[in-house]
Amino acid sequence: MSTPDRRPAHNPWLITFVVSLAAFMEVLDTSIANVALPHIGGSLGATTDETTWVLTSYIAANAVVLPISGWLAGAFGRKRFFMTCIALFGVSSFLCGIAPNLLSLLVFRVLQGAGGGGLQPMAQAILVDTFPPERRGMAFSFYGVTAVTAPIVGPTLGGWIVDNESWRWIFLINVPVVLLALLLVLQLVEDPPYLTRLRNAGVRLDAIGFALLVLGVGALQVMLDKGQQEDWFASRLITILAVTAVVCLTALAIREWSHERPIIELRLLRNFNFLSANVMILMLGMIYFSSLVMMPRYLQELLGYTAQKAGLVLSSSAVVLLVMLPIVGKISSRIPARILIAVGWAAVAVSMAISARWLNLGIDFRSARDLRLLQSAGLPLLFVPITLAAYVGLPPEKNNSAAGLLNFMRNLGSSIGTSLVTTILARRTAFHQTYLVGHAAPDNPTFRELLEALSGRLARAGLGAYEAQRQALARIYAMVRAQAASLAYVDVFWLLAAAAALMFALSFLLRKNDPRAAGPVAA
């Protein structure tokens, strides 16, 4: 069932700009705080472990609100809920910027995450109701600029702010944007008639389901964020969190599936398009954010780049996205979604395989930039068609709930991908280091030649024989560690390439569709 032909009172592209502005602000804030953690810790007298809760608290609160944003929009009205989220995000951003200590900062970050949780799904749902199906591709391509470029721009902007101003400005810069967004949303956005009917019918809170959601999603997010740091299931805390997440989320799924008025409409997953889109967007979140985490880490930890220089490598890919997203939005009305999705996954698989082949410790800035451009090229071919496919065949009154679930799955994929990459890198580095150290033995002629050459060079520089050999061994060990870490990154890129290749094969299981049709179609 398609959305009824209802013309918005204002220019739909102006509405697109307004809701995308609010979503961009939230996505940007998710990544911009990463580079400021050392500065926050130093300013507030907190340890590294303590300051990571600045990220975890936001992510956990955000993840709780995402899946129930559709229910909240039905209960309070989408425009009212959207404006409340914007206002809460702005007020809490200001409070984060003036926080006197870490505890108050964490409390305000929870409020900020809760406010931000409703911005992306409501922005997406508003676009679905504003544009007819045959024009949504261009609208989603514009919105896609916020979803995929904000995580790229965030670290660069955050690095510039903390290098030139106080870390507090990464939060305070949200305030004027919030005021502008609130004013424009008040003037331009309106609720469709079906939302008024839903609100007038009354909505009851499933308190048990909400409690299960808070416990389950909160435990899952903290587990994913802290897992590698706590050595996973060797930690009692992580084990307790895992059990809590499994029990609560399983009970939540059973309850919401059969509940008369669920806070999360899991029954939408019976729609094949919607189920497929959620699986695809989960995998896209995992693969895209994994590569987004890996490149700056590789450049900073192994090649000695500053945060700002590594950010420039990432930011260069924003140009590709800005060019390609409108093109994909245009052709999505002419080419079946599953073909675009298959091409997108093929492009991602090839780019990850090339990254695995090209990546080395001698790579220069230009080559690193080109690799990131290549890694991003397939993203527009996935984001826009997958988002379009998710809403095909759904009744308009389900758009809010569908947007909440879809954005929750993308965010969950990014959390899982980041956690997996961090763990695999640590363990594969240890594996390769053990293997390489095994060859650094006196009976290995290559090792002896290298040791003698380095020792001789250091001795000629003025060191004594003993100190020269000790320094030479230390340098060889540093080389071994760097090579082991580099090989671990190569392993992960091959893994991402295999995952993308699998999704390429699965994309052909999607049903065919006529992209020019305005009625209900399959993906």
472 has pLDDT over 80: no
The answer to whether the beta carbons of residues 108 and 116 sit under 8 Å apart is no
Does the residue 131 lie in any domain? yes
136 has pLDDT over 90: no
pLDDT tens sequence across 387-430: 888 887 778 778 888 888 888 888 888 888 888 888 888 889 88
Query: Which range among 56-70, 127-141, 196-210, 297-311 shows the weakest confidence by mean pLDDT?
Result: 196-210
Q: What is the average pLDDT value for the chain, to the nearest integer?
A: 82
In the chain, the number of structural domains is: 3
Does the residue 87 lie in any domain? yes
128 has pLDDT over 90: no
Check whether residue 245 and residue 108 sit in a common domain.
Answer: no
Check whether residue 118 and residue 248 sit in a common domain.
Answer: no
Residue 249's closest CA among 279, 275, 212? 212
Q: Would you list the DSSP string of 7-69?
A: --SS-HHHHHHHHHHHHHHHHHHHHHTGGGHHHHHHHHT--HHHHTHHHHHHHHHHHHHHHHH
Does the residue 254 lie in any domain? yes
Check whether residue 29 and residue 167 sit in a common domain.
Answer: yes
Residue 394's closest CA among 509, 277, 280? 277
Query: Which range among 196-210, 224-238, 278-292, 413-427 shows the weakest confidence by mean pLDDT?
Result: 196-210
Check whether residue 92 and residue 165 sit in a common domain.
Answer: yes
Check whether residue 82 and residue 102 sit in a common domain.
Answer: yes
Centre a 10 Å sphere on the Cβ of residue 233 and count the other Cβ atoms it contains: 11
For the CA atoms of 162, 301, 46, 243, the dihedral, rounded to the nearest 10 degrees, stands at 120
Residue 198: which CATH number? Answer: 1.20.1250.20
Q: Which residues contact 211 (CB under 8 A, 6 or more apart)?
A: none
Does the residue 458 lie in any domain? yes
Check whether residue 144 and residue 74 sit in a common domain.
Answer: yes
91-105, 390-404, 441-455, 474-488 — most confident range: 91-105
520 has pLDDT over 60: no
End of a domain among 185, 204, 223?
204
Give the pair of three-digit tokens for residue 298: 């590789």
Check whether residue 92 and residue 175 sit in a common domain.
Answer: yes
Residue 217: domain span:
206-260
Q: Would you list the DSSP string of 189-244?
A: ----HHHHHHHHH-----HHHHHHHHHHHHHHHHHHHHTTTTTGGGSHHHHHHHHH
Does the residue 23 lie in any domain? yes
Check whether residue 79 and residue 225 sit in a common domain.
Answer: no
pLDDT tens sequence across 264-282: 888 888 888 888 889 989 9
Helix axes 119-130, 136-164, angle to 10 degrees: 150
pLDDT value of position 2: 39
Alpha-carbon torsion (7, 10, 13, 19), positive or negative: negative
pLDDT value of position 343: 92
Residue 334's closest CA among 508, 507, 521, 517? 517
Place of tokens 């997406």: 124
3 has pLDDT over 50: no
pLDDT value of position 483: 87
Does the residue 196 lie in any domain? yes
The answer to whether the beta carbons of residues 265 and 391 sit under 8 Å apart is no
Does the residue 268 lie in any domain? no
| DSSP code of residue 99 | -
* Type of residue numbered 368: A
End of a domain among 172, 189, 204?
204
End of a domain among 241, 260, 279?
260
- CA 439 centroid distance within chain: 40
26 has pLDDT over 60: yes
pLDDT tens sequence across 329-364: 888 778 877 888 999 999 999 999 999 998 888 888
Q: Which residue has the higher pLDDT, 136 or 485?
A: 485
169-173, 225-229, 388-392, 496-500 — most confident range: 496-500
Residue range 480-486: mean pLDDT, rounded? 87
Check whether residue 198 and residue 214 sit in a common domain.
Answer: no
The answer to whether the beta carbons of residues 87 and 115 sit under 8 Å apart is yes
CA–CA gap between residue 54 and residue 165 (Å, rounded):
19
| 3-state DSSP assignment of residue 376 | helix
Check whether residue 105 and residue 234 sit in a common domain.
Answer: no
Cα separation values, 232 from 59, 284, 419, 431, Å: 19, 24, 11, 18
Check whether residue 2 and residue 12 sit in a common domain.
Answer: yes
Residue range 487-512: mean pLDDT, rounded? 87
Check whether residue 129 and residue 226 sit in a common domain.
Answer: no
Give the confidence band of 199 by pLDDT, cuts at 50, 70, 90: low
- CA 214 centroid distance within chain: 20
Residue range 249-275: mean pLDDT, rounded? 85
pLDDT value of position 198: 61
Does the residue 490 lie in any domain? no
pLDDT value of position 8: 65
